Amino acid sequence: MQYAGMRSRNCLTGRRRASKIVDWRKSFVIDSKKSDLIAQTLDRFHVELPSWGFANTGTRFGKFLQPAAASTIAEKFSDAAQVHRWTGVCPTIALHVLWDLPNGAADAAEIRRLADIHGVRPGSINPNLFQDQTYKFGSFGNPDPAVRREALDHVINSIEIADALASRDLSLWFADGSNYPGTQNMRQRRRWFIEGLQEAHARLSGEQRMLVEYKPFEPAFYHTDIADWGMALLLARDAGPRAKVLVDTGHHYQAQNIEQIVAWLLDLGMLGGFHFNDRRYADDDLTTGSIDPYQVFRIFHEILHYEWESGTHADIAYMIDQSHNLKGKIEAMIQTVTTIMELFAKASLVDHKKLSRLQDECALVDAEDCLKDAFSTDVRPLIREWASAKGLTDDPMDAFRQSGYFERITAERAERNAAAVASYA
Residues in contact with Mn ion by the rule CB under 5 A:
248, 275, 321
| Shortest separation between residue 9's beta carbon and ligand LRH, angstroms | 51
Nearer to ligand LRH, 56 or 126 (CB): 126
Write out the H or E segment, with its range, that includes residue 318.
Answer: strand 317-320
Euclidean distance between CA atoms 189 and 177, whole angstroms = 9
From the number of C-beta atoms within 10 Å of its C-beta (0-12, 13-18, 19+), residue 96 rates as buried
Interaction of residue 169 with ligand LRH, rule CB under 6 A: no
Interaction of residue 48 with ligand LRH, rule CB under 6 A: no
**Of 77, 173, 344, 386, which lies in the binding site for ligand LRH, with binding defined by CB under 6 A?**
173
Nearer to ligand LRH, 52 or 406 (CB): 52
Q: Which does 283 bind (CB under 5 to 8 A by kind): ligand LRH, Mn ion, none?
A: ligand LRH
Strand ranges (DSSP E) for 39-184? 49-50, 92-96, 121-126, 169-173, 177-178
308-312: long-range pairs with CB below 8 Å, 24+: 308/352, 309/352, 309/356
Q: Is the sign of the CA dihedral 239, 303, 341, 292 positive or negative? A: positive
**Of 75, 213, 259, 342, which lies in the binding site for ligand LRH, with binding defined by CB under 6 A?**
213
| Shortest separation between residue 246's beta carbon and ligand LRH, angstroms | 8
Q: Which does 229 bind (CB under 5 to 8 A by kind): ligand LRH, Mn ion, none?
A: none
| Shortest separation between residue 44's beta carbon and ligand LRH, angstroms | 25
Euclidean distance between CA atoms 358 and 309, whole angstroms = 15
Using CB under 6 A, which residues numbered 334 to 393 contact ligand LRH? none
Interaction of residue 100 with ligand LRH, rule CB under 6 A: no
**Of 215, 223, 244, 329, which lies in the binding site for ligand LRH, with binding defined by CB under 6 A?**
215
Nearer to ligand LRH, 55 or 90 (CB): 55
Nearer to Mn ion, 275 or 298 (CB): 275
136 DSSP assignment = G
DSSP letters spanning 155-218: HHHHHHHHHHHT--EEEEE---EESSTTSS-HHHHHHHHHHHHHHHHTT--TT-EEEEE--SSS
| Shortest separation between residue 368's beta carbon and ligand LRH, angstroms | 32
Using CB under 6 A, which residues numbered 310 to 329 contact ligand LRH? 321
143 DSSP assignment = S
Euclidean distance between CA atoms 96 and 50, whole angstroms = 8
Euclidean distance between CA atoms 38 and 42, whole angstroms = 6
Interaction of residue 126 with ligand LRH, rule CB under 6 A: yes
Nearer to ligand LRH, 219 or 381 (CB): 219
Using CB under 6 A, which residues numbered 231 to 260 contact ligand LRH? 248
Nearer to ligand LRH, 115 or 125 (CB): 125
Interaction of residue 305 with ligand LRH, rule CB under 6 A: no
350 DSSP assignment = S
Q: Which residues of 284-302 are buried (b: 16+ CB within 10 A; e: fewer)?
A: bbbbbbbeebebbbbbbbb
Q: Which does 107 bind (CB under 5 to 8 A by kind): Mn ion, ligand LRH, none?
A: none
Interaction of residue 302 with ligand LRH, rule CB under 6 A: no
From the number of C-beta atoms within 10 Å of its C-beta (0-12, 13-18, 19+), residue 92 rates as buried
* Main-chain dihedrals φ then ψ at residue 280, nearest 5 degrees: -105, -25
Nearer to ligand LRH, 41 or 290 (CB): 290
**Of 275, 298, 329, 346, which lies in the binding site for ligand LRH, with binding defined by CB under 6 A?**
275
| Shortest separation between residue 285's beta carbon and ligand LRH, angstroms | 7
Euclidean distance between CA atoms 210 and 199, whole angstroms = 12
Q: Which does 126 bind (CB under 5 to 8 A by kind): Mn ion, ligand LRH, none?
A: ligand LRH
Nearer to Mn ion, 53 or 196 (CB): 53
Q: Are 397 and 403 in contact (CB under 8 A)?
A: no
Taking only Cα atoms into account, the Rg of the chain, rounded to an integer number of angstroms, comes to 24
Nearer to Mn ion, 274 or 297 (CB): 274
Q: Taking phi first (over 0 means left), then psi (-120 to 50 degrees means alpha), and beta for anything else, what does residue 295 get?
A: alpha
| HSE-CB for 389 with a 13 A CA cutoff | 13
| Shortest separation between residue 219's beta carbon and ligand LRH, angstroms | 9
| Shortest separation between residue 246's beta carbon and Mn ion, angstroms | 7
**Of 176, 283, 302, 342, which lies in the binding site for ligand LRH, with binding defined by CB under 6 A?**
283
Binding site for ligand LRH (CB under 6 A): 52, 126, 173, 213, 215, 248, 275, 283, 321
